[in-house]
Structure 1
Amino acid sequence: MSRPSPTRVSFASVTHNNLGTVRKLNSVLFPIKYSEKFYNDIVLPEVEDFCQLVYYNDIPIGTMCCRMETQGEETKLYLMTLAVLAPYRSRGIGARSLQQLVDSAAAYTPRKITSIYLHVQVSNDDAKRFYERHGFKEVGLYTNYYKKITPHDAWILQREIEPAAKPADSK
């Protein structure tokens, strides 16, 4: 009996060269149109580890995009978008994407990232459960967060980030 070939999930930083693919995916995945500022910001060098195209067997099927927010000594990642096309859901790809993001945040060395946070529309119970299964906790409610879609309110979910373990000295 032959085994099915393993599915390859891979990630690539968002660049000017693949920005058109991100735009197309976002137009299908999200109920809002993102601004030019959003697209200009996701190709900045400091977020290349946190703004990624998600591939399934070399086919682009999702995106995740973050921005860094620093106040004083604290730096957080704000997860602006994370989505996978409907035919590819329930295959662990979203979980792999989120783990990739958490691992990248933990390993980031220019500054310590303390947490990742995001907004989830209050009507999106599936998304809330997904994030909670992956270590996110509800930390607040933002009323009237969404201006152009209903319901307007959003849960604020957050996950603390522990820095990646440093390899022990081998003497």
Structure 2
Amino acid sequence: MPQSSLTTWLKKPAIITEPGPTNDNATNDNIAADSSAVNALNTSTPPDLLPCDHKGNVQTTVDATEKRSTPVARTSALPQPGRNLPPNVEIRACAPADLTALKRLNSVLLPIPYPDSFYREIIADPVTNNMTLLALWHDDPSKIGKAKGRLVGAIRCRLLPGTSITPGKPTSAPNSASGKTELLYLSSLALLSPYRGYGIASHLLRTLITRAVDVYGITSIGAHVWEANEEGLEWYRKRGFKVVEKELRYYRRLDPSTGVVVQRDVKVSDFLVG
């Protein structure tokens, strides 16, 4: 998910292989601070993408008859910031029919459950829908736009007034266009493990950053990360995020319960296409 250490994420795989079959597939006591995002992210690129089970665990055997995808060029109406994606990947908005698969994805990868209202808002609120994207994998890239595809990743963000996630923190002066400064807050970000290493998560986030800058005038991005989620904290750090605060008992259902607030300003690299 896009916070950028560009040297790692701009390396395009020499061969695009097909991950194996995967199913299509917080209630934090304070859902306003609802991002345990990137709990299961891995910043390393797997040498091969092997078949996995519904939890994203790699299986040790491969069916000799398994079909491999042939990369096919495709176009997308969405902006294409950062590194190019494999042609098998479709990025699109979330529709009502996607909610069941999205709930499954988050329940498998994120450590806290989200209430139904979290998902209903994606459909009911136009701004939330505009700040939510899905990543679907198509074994046959020529079927993009025609077939359903396999949901492998998703991001949901929301807008916060000011430039600080934490209530009571000072904010910057309002911008002239909107009368206030907006912060893009990552509510959830998840990607199945066999599909990591292709820049999908980074692409999802960077796409929303560029959209939020253009449409809502945001100037910064932030998230809460579970203190025990060392992979997630490292992922953010490599993408320019700084730890600005630690909130005790933020994740009241987890042990440890501390939430780490990470944040950074919008930067030029968010808009680079490569």
Q: Same fold (TM over 0.5)?
A: yes
Kept after mapping to 2: 8 A contact 1:106/1:162: no
Given the superposition, is the C-alpha separation of residues 162 and 48 from structure 1 closer, same or farther in structure 2, using an over 3 Å criterion?
farther
2:97 counterpart SS class:
coil
Residue of structure 1 equivalent to 2:134: 53
Residue of structure 1 equivalent to 2:37: none
Q: Distance in 1 between matches of 2:253 and 2:115?
A: 14
- Offset of residue 162 of structure 1: 5.3
Residue of structure 1 equivalent to 2:232: 127
Structure 1 stretches lacking a partner, 5+ long? 166-171
1:138 counterpart SS class:
strand
Deviation track 1:102-131 (CA, whole Å, cap 9, x = no partner) reads 2222222xx311212101111111111111
Residue of structure 2 equivalent to 1:168: none
Deviation track 1:26-66 (CA, whole Å, cap 9, x = no partner) reads 11111222112211222221122321111233421011111
Partner of residue 75 from structure 1, selected from 182, 185, 193: 182
- 1:66-105 correspondence runs (5 A): 66-70=157-161, 73-105=180-212
- Computing the radius of gyration from Cα coordinates, the structure with the larger value is 2
Kept after mapping to 2: 8 A contact 1:63/1:83: yes
Structure 2 stretches lacking a partner, 5+ long? 1-14, 17-70, 73-85, 139-148, 163-178
Partner of residue 118 from structure 2, selected from 38, 46, 57: 38
Deviates more, 1:7-16 or 1:22-31: 7-16
Kept after mapping to 1: 8 A contact 2:221/2:263: yes
TM-score (norm 2): 0.54
2:101 counterpart SS class:
helix
1:65 counterpart SS class:
strand
Q: Distance in 1 between matches of 2:154 and 2:248?
A: 26
- 1:14-33 correspondence runs (5 A): 14-33=94-113
Q: Distance in 2 between matches of 1:16 and 1:30?
A: 21
TM-score (norm 1): 0.83
- 1:107-146 correspondence runs (5 A): 107-108=214-215, 111-146=216-251
Which one-letter code corresponds to 1:134 in the other structure?
R
Which one-letter code corresponds to 1:19 in the other structure?
L
The one of the two structures with greater contact order (alpha-carbon pairs below 8 A, sep at least 6) is 2
- Offset of residue 70 of structure 1: 2.5
User: How many correspondences in the alignment?
Assistant: 161
Kept after mapping to 1: 8 A contact 2:251/2:259: yes
- Offset of residue 153 of structure 1: 0.4
CA RMSD of aligned residues (A): 2.2
Deviates more, 1:15-24 or 1:87-96: 87-96
Deviates more, 1:82-91 or 1:67-76: 67-76
Residue of structure 2 equivalent to 1:169: none
Instruction: Confirm whether residue 155 of structure 1 aligns to residue 260 of structure 2.
Output: yes
Deviation track 1:126-162 (CA, whole Å, cap 9, x = no partner) reads 1111112222221111111101111100110112125
